[in-house]
Structure 1
Amino acid sequence: MTLVFNQKLAPKIPAISFVTVLGAECGFYRRLRSRLGAPKAITATAHKLARLFYQIWATTGQYLDPDIDYYQQKYQEQVLKSLRNKANALGLELVPISPSTLNTSSSLNHAT
């Protein structure tokens, strides 16, 4: 029996393992998988892991892994920035809703 080593698949093996792991890179993989599909998400995650590996290697192991909460906060900021840009392109402005406004509007809805 001959063991065949697939050179194209080898860099993607660590990325495939992100299906069940928690962490910032896992969130990256899951977001890309929902948008692009599994094969492209695996390839993109493999590229990101290769860049992280090079960063660790070049800085002699000085790398701090951000947790999933940091990644989610960064992603929410990115989505909000995108919404602001889209609103500005349409000549609109995003205005944050205060908690007191939410309570007032909900009580008005129940009164009518």
Structure 2
Amino acid sequence: MGEPISAGKRRARLKVINPRSAGIDVGSRFHDVAVPVELDPNPVRKFSSFTKDLIALAEWLLAVGISTIAMESTGIYWVPLYEILSGKGIDVFLVNARHAKNVPGRKTDINDAQWLQQLH
């Protein structure tokens, strides 16, 4: 059910508008997913892009109460994930990577997922 990832240093959080949001950095082989730390002891996880793992990703998000997601992708890798998530009733927003790339500090996919979650 997704491999927990050490989130490293925590940044100051923005004012929470939607406490049930997640952020996903979509890649060709893996997707990094971040949920609010209040919802899961392992709030950042990595899932592979195989269908069974995308379904596990969606089920984890539903289990922690996520209702909306912002995800970024520079290719077409978002399409299967979008179909699975929206099919399960989650509101999914595909964001322009160029608009969301101003990640403070060191650039990693994990930071991108956390930044998307905070912005959303």
Which range, TM-score by smaller chain? under 0.3
Larger RCO: Structure 1 or Structure 2 (Cα < 8 Å, ≥ 6 residues apart)? 2
Bigger Rg, which one: 1
The alignment's TM-score, normalised by the length of structure 2, stands at: 0.22
Higher helix share: 1
TM-score (norm 1): 0.23
Bigger strand fraction:
2
